[in-house]
Amino acid sequence: MLSSRWGSFYAYIHSALVLGKAAERTREHHVLCAALLHDIGKGVTDPSLWPRHIGHEKAGAEMIPALGEKYGLPDDWIAASQYAARYHMAAHTAKKAGKIAEMILGAARNPIGVDGFATVVWADHNGRGRENVPNAFADSATDVYKAIVEASKHSHDPSKIAQAVSKTLKG
């Protein structure tokens, strides 16, 4: 297991490991780009805050368009990378069905897609020298999305949709 005592340097090693883990599950370039850039905001963290990188999600999402423009990245790669950077930490910590549904629907509307975002979250979880450890969000994202779509056919009431998500998460 890697240690975070090296601050920003560790974040770059982790990003390379995340890219490798994501490549185990997909060959979609925009998803692989998102996996690589998901923690780019850690590079601007004040070293006095290390090993924590508070706010790196927002910082990364804000940095990515300029990076994309500089290197000529396609718009879908930029949008997917911004989504992954902004929401990957929330996916690891979300407990409420409404918040989980919101993230999954956001991914569905973004070029990253539900499966792509789940891949980045899973790869982030496992990109610390772990060997394919389950991740609750990543492992349930597709089923939760299917439950949202099905529940939406019968009702647009957010509480009904949240109930469907809760039921799916409880298995």
Structure tokens at 106: 């956001």
Residue 1 domain flag: no
For 78, the domain range is: 8-170
Q: Is 50 helix (H, G, I), strand (E, B) or coil?
A: coil
Split into its structural domains, the chain has a count of: 1
Q: Is residue 20 part of a domain?
A: yes
Given this model, what pLDDT does residue 1 score?
40
Report DSSP state, residue 110.
Answer: S
- Residue 2 domain flag: no
pLDDT score at 3: 45
CB 118 within 8 A of CB 141: yes
Judge whether 115 lies within some domain: yes
* Domain assignment of residue 3, yes or no: no
Which parts of the chain sit beneath pLDDT 70? 1-9
